[in-house]
């Protein structure tokens, strides 16, 4: 099923049956996972625990520069066989040749993959020689479109991509990805919904009407959060960081703070009418299932 169908009002109404939801139309639920260092079995157990929430998509990260391509592909195959939700592999073009990318998409297509998340990626620090056939994600979108019939999602940044001079520049560049054929935008994680609302307004104002799916991270570790947010441009609201700071060494308390905060964030986003919510589950079911129990 293509992204434009998954996020359509008709489909959202159709899948509403499994969970009692008192709002108007339930948002589509999706999860992001990454290839585990060892076997996929534990992750599959976690995903099985989340099956009852009727996810529509599971996105699978891809190592920068094609590193861990095999781990990513093996996970894509495993998730396809699990039949919990449609897999959506991520796919980056930084430090990759056109030939390499073409053979990877062919491999995905031969597995019956219909949707991919097309990204530029970042240059890995440990790579000395980096030859990229494509400079930006819009070129990758065009390339995938020219070679396959796949449906393509791209990344969006509610707090602006760190390299962009301003929002105008970033959204002009986002529009290039949509004009090249992307059907949905998945956002970077954020903790202040006001950034998302403002971003959505700017994107719509630029004439982009594809679904914009907010990325939600249930926080489970303060140090991990600091590491993740130091790599991208993400505000942690003061009252949240103060609470987390107080319980820094206490994983259980941090997890509960993360769950409560994500519930609050998701409830507001649902009231705002988002088409979907994409959870960065970090390969664990507990926090996301607590959040979904609370919001539906």
User: Three-state DSSP class for 80?
Assistant: helix
The CB-of-16 to ligand FAD minimum distance in angstroms stands at 25
* Contact yes or no for 87/79 (Cβ under 8 A): yes
Using the contact rule CB under 6 A, the part of the chain among 11-19, 57-65, 96-104, 125-133 near ligand FAD is 57-65
The CB-of-243 to ligand FAD minimum distance in angstroms stands at 25
> DSSP letter at 237?
-
Task: Note whether 136 binds ligand FAD by CB under 6 A.
Answer: yes
* Contact yes or no for 101/143 (Cβ under 8 A): yes
User: Of 240-259, which residues contact ligand FAD (CB under 6 A)?
Assistant: none
Task: Note whether 137 binds ligand FAD by CB under 6 A.
Answer: yes
Tokens at 238, concatenated? 């003061």
Instruction: Provide the mask over 178-217, with x wherever binding to ligand FAD is found by CB under 6 A and - wherever it is not.
Output: --------x-x--------------------------x--
Residue placing its CB nearer to ligand FAD in the complex, 161 or 198: 161
**How many angstroms separate the CA atoms of 63 and 124, rounded?**
9
Task: Note whether 77 binds ligand FAD by CB under 6 A.
Answer: no
For residue 196, which of 291, 277, 281, 257 has the smallest C-alpha distance? 277
**How many angstroms separate the CA atoms of 284 and 159, rounded?**
26
The CB-of-10 to ligand FAD minimum distance in angstroms stands at 25
Task: Note whether 64 binds ligand FAD by CB under 6 A.
Answer: yes
* Contact yes or no for 187/158 (Cβ under 8 A): yes
Tokens at 258, concatenated? 């993360």
Among 27, 35, 66, 121, binds ligand FAD (CB under 6 A): 121
> DSSP letter at 275?
S
Residue placing its CB nearer to ligand FAD in the complex, 137 or 219: 137
Task: Note whether 173 binds ligand FAD by CB under 6 A.
Answer: yes
User: Three-state DSSP class for 60?
Assistant: strand
Residue placing its CB nearer to ligand FAD in the complex, 173 or 221: 173
Binding residues for ligand FAD, total number by CB under 6 A: 25
Tokens at 164, concatenated? 């962009």
Residue placing its CB nearer to ligand FAD in the complex, 62 or 222: 62
Among 28, 75, 119, 144, binds ligand FAD (CB under 6 A): 119
**How many angstroms separate the CA atoms of 100 and 104, rounded?**
6
**How many angstroms separate the CA atoms of 210 and 171, rounded?**
13
Task: Note whether 74 binds ligand FAD by CB under 6 A.
Answer: no
Active site residues: 32
Residue placing its CB nearer to ligand FAD in the complex, 21 or 197: 197
* Contact yes or no for 256/291 (Cβ under 8 A): no
For residue 154, which of 80, 90, 229, 60 has the smallest C-alpha distance? 90
Among 80, 145, 161, 198, binds ligand FAD (CB under 6 A): 161
**How many angstroms separate the CA atoms of 254 and 72, rounded?**
29
Among 7, 62, 196, 199, binds ligand FAD (CB under 6 A): 62
Residue listed under structure tokens 């009252």: 239
Which residues of the shown chain bind ligand FAD in the complex (CB under 6 A)?
Answer: 61-62, 64, 90, 92, 117, 119-122, 136-138, 155, 161, 163-164, 169-170, 173, 176-177, 186, 188, 215
């Amino acid at each position: 099923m293509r992204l434009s169908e998954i996020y359509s009002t008709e489909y959202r109404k159709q899948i509403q049956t499994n969970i009692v939801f008192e709002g108007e139309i339930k948002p589509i639920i999706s999860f992001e996972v990454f290839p585990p260092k060892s076997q996929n079995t534990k992750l599959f157990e976690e995903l099985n625990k989340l099956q009852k929430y009727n996810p529509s998509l599971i996105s699978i990260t891809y190592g920068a520069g094609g590193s861990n391509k095999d781990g990513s592909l093996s996970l894509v195959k495993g998730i396809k066989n699990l039949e919990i939700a449609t897999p959506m592999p991520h796919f980056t073009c930084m430090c990759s040749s056109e030939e390499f990318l073409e053979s990877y998409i062919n491999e995905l297509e031969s597995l019956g993959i219909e949707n991919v998340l097309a990204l530029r990626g970042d240059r890995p620090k440990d790579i000395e020689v980096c030859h990229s056939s494509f400079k930006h994600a819009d070129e990758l979108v065009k390339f995938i479109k020219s070679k396959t019939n796949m449906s393509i999602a791209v990344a969006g940044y509610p707090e602006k991509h760190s390299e962009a001079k301003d929002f105008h520049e970033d959204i002009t560049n986002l529009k290039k990805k949509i004009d090249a054929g992307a059907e949905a935008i998945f956002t970077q994680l954020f903790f202040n919904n006001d950034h998302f609302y403002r971003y959505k307004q700017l994107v719509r104002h630029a004439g982009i009407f594809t679904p914009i799916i907010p990325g939600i991270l249930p926080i489970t570790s303060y140090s991990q959060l600091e590491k993740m947010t130091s790599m991208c441009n993400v505000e942690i609201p003061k009252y949240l960081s103060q609470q987390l700071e107080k319980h820094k060494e206490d994983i259980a308390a941090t997890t509960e703070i993360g769950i409560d905060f994500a519930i609050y964030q998701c409830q507001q986003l649902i009231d705002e009418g988002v088409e979907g919510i994409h959870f960065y589950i970090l390969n664990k079911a507990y926090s996301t299932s607590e959040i979904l129990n609370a919001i539906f």
